[in-house]
């Protein structure tokens, strides 16, 4: 615990830490199962109980970059949410982080964009050179949760989500995915840890910020699956579990709403649903941690995260 953490409201800090650690925990526990055809409950429990350090992937690496960027911009004296993201600088910071550790399991398209950015191509050109219609991958959504710690209201969170995602993801569905995940994290931060999230009420503000038939239909399905207490495999069949934003963000939301108040169950559900397990579990874990707080996670598991020190520092700065 640092001097700074002693001056911050303890429940706010616990939720900020919960958001950052939940994201990293979902990423690390889910990573070994990415694209495996079958994952059992015993596999996930064995991963939780192991003793090796938990190594993260691109999801946590880029979320840490965004968290550090936001903290730095605020410390520099920027006071409006619109100024918290400097797109040119953020694009460069993401690309530098990829270049330093390209082995962390980055998407194929974003890898090509980062290579172009590092060779001097402006980010707007680089991302359109790879996918002219923009990437619809879930990369903007997987890293966006820290934006919820600094956006004061839904409008600000939406703006931050879009500005942080668009430097790599220009497709409308990737931006909708980032908005959905960031606003869900904002709502989870505001929900008392002693109340469980009610699916139907929780998604209402999300419907307001996702005005397309595809996303509204996905939100309806999320509510229906939660109310029917669907199993992870069925939720994945209905909502999708792939690397696209529209095929993964709703499943993460569904994992959270199905088990809100029990963060480790939320992450297990996301992993048992299969497919893009690190990313769905990272997004679900961020929501669960934002709701329940850091202290709701097992000290054994969070203590194994390789980035634990950096996660604590970022949470303290953003809280
Ligand atoms: N990429 C992975 N996992 C597989 C490789 C890891 C493996 N362990 C290894 O390296 O050995 N995981 C990570 O990628 C996802 C986030 O991806 P992001 O940042 O959105 O990247 P990208 O490249 O923009 O999109 C991902 C893929 O989606 C398809 N795609 C996207 N837009 C498309 C378009 N307009 N047209 C056609 N295809 C499009 C492409 O296949 C992209 O490669 C997370 O799962 C993260 O964990
Ligand atoms: Mg990953
Ligand atoms: Mg992934």
Residues 90, 25, 47, 108: what is their CA dihedral angle, to the nearest 10 degrees? Answer: -20
Residues with CB under 6 A from ligand 1: 34, 57-59, 105-110, 131, 133, 135-139, 142, 171, 243, 276, 278-279
Tens digit of pLDDT for each residue in 62-109? Answer: 999 999 999 999 999 888 888 999 999 999 999 999 999 999 999 999
Tens digit of pLDDT for each residue in 136-160? Answer: 999 999 999 999 999 999 999 999 9
For residue 83, how far is its CA from the centre of ligand 2 (angstroms)?
Answer: 28
* 82 DSSP 8-state letter: G
Query: What is residue 1's predicted lDDT score, i.e. its pLDDT?
Result: 43
Mean of per-residue pLDDT scores for the chain: 95
Tens digit of pLDDT for each residue in 204-244? Answer: 999 999 999 999 999 999 999 999 999 999 999 999 999 99
What is the percentage of the chain residues whose pLDDT exceeds 90? 93
Nearest 5 degrees, angle CA 98-CA 149-CA 167? 35
Q: Which atom of ligand 1 is nearest to the CA of 168?
A: 24
Query: What is residue 9's predicted lDDT score, i.e. its pLDDT?
Result: 67
Q: Does the pLDDT of residue 33 top 70, yes or no? A: yes
Q: Helices in the chain by DSSP H: which ranges?
A: 3-6, 10-30, 41-49, 58-75, 87-100, 108-118, 123-130, 139-142, 154-165, 172-190, 199-209, 213-227, 232-239, 249-258, 263-272, 277-292, 299-302, 308-318
CA separation, residue 105 to residues 28, 101, 126, 263 (Å): 12, 9, 20, 25
Q: Which atom of ligand 1 is nearest to the CA of 282?
A: 47
Q: Does the pLDDT of residue 35 top 90, yes or no? A: no
Q: Does the pLDDT of residue 131 top 70, yes or no? A: yes
For residue 59, how far is its CA from the centre of ligand 3 (angstroms)?
Answer: 7
Cβ(276)–Cβ(39) below 8 Å: no
Residue identifier of the C-alpha nearest atom 35 of ligand 1: 135
Probe ligand 1: pick from 107, 142, 277, 282, max atoms within 8 Å of CB? Answer: 107
- Say if residue 287 is exposed, middle or buried (CB neighbours under 10 Å; 0-12, 13-18, 19+): buried
Residue 38: pLDDT band (50, 70, 90) is: confident
pTM equals 0.96
Query: What is residue 82's predicted lDDT score, i.e. its pLDDT?
Result: 85
């Amino acid at each position: 615990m640092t001097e700074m953490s002693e001056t911050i409201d303890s429940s706010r800090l616990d939720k900020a830490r919960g958001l950052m650690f939940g994201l990293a925990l979902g990423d690390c526990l889910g990573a070994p199962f990415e694209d495996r055809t079958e994952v059992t409950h015993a596999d996930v429990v064995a991963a939780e109980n192991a003793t090796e350090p938990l190594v993260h992937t691109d999801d946590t690496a880029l979320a840490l970059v965004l968290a550090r960027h936001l903290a730095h911009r605020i410390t520099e004296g920027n006071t409006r949410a619109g100024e918290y993201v400097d797109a040119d600088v953020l694009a460069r910071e993401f690309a530098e982080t990829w270049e330093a550790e390209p082995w962390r399991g980055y998407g194929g398209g974003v890898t090509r964009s980062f290579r172009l950015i590092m060779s001097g191509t402006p980010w707007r050109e680089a991302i359109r050179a790879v996918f002219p219609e923009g990437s619809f991958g879930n990369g903007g959504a997987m890293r966006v949760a820290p934006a919820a710690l600094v956006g004061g209201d839904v409008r600000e969170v939406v703006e931050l989500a879009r500005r942080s995602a668009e430097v790599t993801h220009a497709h409308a569905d990737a931006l909708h995915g980032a908005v959905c995940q960031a606003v869900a994290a904002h709502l989870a931060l505001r929900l008392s840890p002693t109340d469980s999230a009610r699916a139907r009420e929780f998604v209402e503000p999300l419907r307001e910020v996702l005005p397309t038939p595809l996303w509204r239909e996905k939100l309806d399905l999320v509510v229906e699956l939660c109310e029917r207490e669907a199993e992870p495999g069925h939720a994945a069949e209905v909502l999708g579990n792939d690397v696209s934003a529209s095929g993964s963000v709703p499943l993460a939301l569904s994992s959270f709403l199905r088990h809100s108040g029990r963060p480790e169950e939320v992450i297990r559900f996301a992993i048992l649903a299969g497919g893009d397990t690190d990313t769905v579990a990272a997004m679900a874990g961020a929501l669960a941690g934002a709701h329940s707080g850091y202290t709701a996670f097992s000290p054994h598991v969070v203590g194994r995260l390789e980035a634990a020190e950096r996660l604590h520092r970022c949470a303290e700065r953003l809280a």
